[in-house]
Amino acid sequence: EVQLVESGGGLVQPGGSLRLSCAASGFTFSSYCMTWVRQAPGKGLEWVANIKQDGSEKYYVDSVKGRFTISRDNAKNSLYLHMNSLRAEDTAVYYCARKYRYYDLLTGYYRSVDAFDIWGQGTMVTVSS
């Protein structure tokens, strides 16, 4: 079964740090771009960060640049989000998700698209004193 399972959430004080993990199974993790998306309580979805298959390229939403770092370990089928200088506004459920790709019969190649087809169940991060 294709699955993503997040862990590492919890209560942290403002200014503190936390590392989220996402364990992938049921697919070739190293072949997919991965992402983190968050959702504040009662609010909408917010894209946080992307990472390429080999970890060579990483992209972030402006509000977390310089504070959050996305990384991956393909040998461990794992995705991470290192969060520093946490603020109250970072309080949210954090989801890891797989970037959708499909086999293009016309070209004979896999095509990766800007959409996410597999999501974890989420892990809650609460930033409060």
Partner 1 sequence: QSALTQPASVSGSPGQSITISCTGTSSDVGGYNYVSWYQQHPGKAPKLMIYDVSKRPSGVSNRFSGSKSGNTASLTISGLQAEDEADYYCCSYAGSSTLVFGTGTKVTVL
Q: Which is nearer to partner 1, 56 or 129 (CB)?
A: 56
Q: How far is the CB of 13 from partner 1 (least distance, A)?
A: 27
Which residues sit at the interface with partner 1, rule CB under 8 A? 35, 37, 44-47, 50, 57, 59-62, 95, 97, 100, 113-117, 119-122
The tokens describing 50, both together, are 């992307």
| Distances, alpha carbon 101 to alpha carbons 8, 42, 50, 106, 116, in Å | 28, 30, 15, 15, 9
CB of 119 to partner 1, least distance (A): 4
Least distance between partner 1 and beta carbon 49 (Å)? 9
Residue 73 structure tokens = 């370990």
First to last CA, the chain: 39
Closest separation between CB of residue 129 and partner 1, Å?
A: 27
Nearer to partner 1, 61 or 77 (CB): 61
Q: Which two tokens stand for residue 89?
A: 């506004």
Question: Hey, what are 87's tokens?
Answer: 């603020």
From CA 41, how far away is CA 18, in angstroms rounded?
19
Which C-beta is closer to partner 1: that of 13 or that of 89? 89
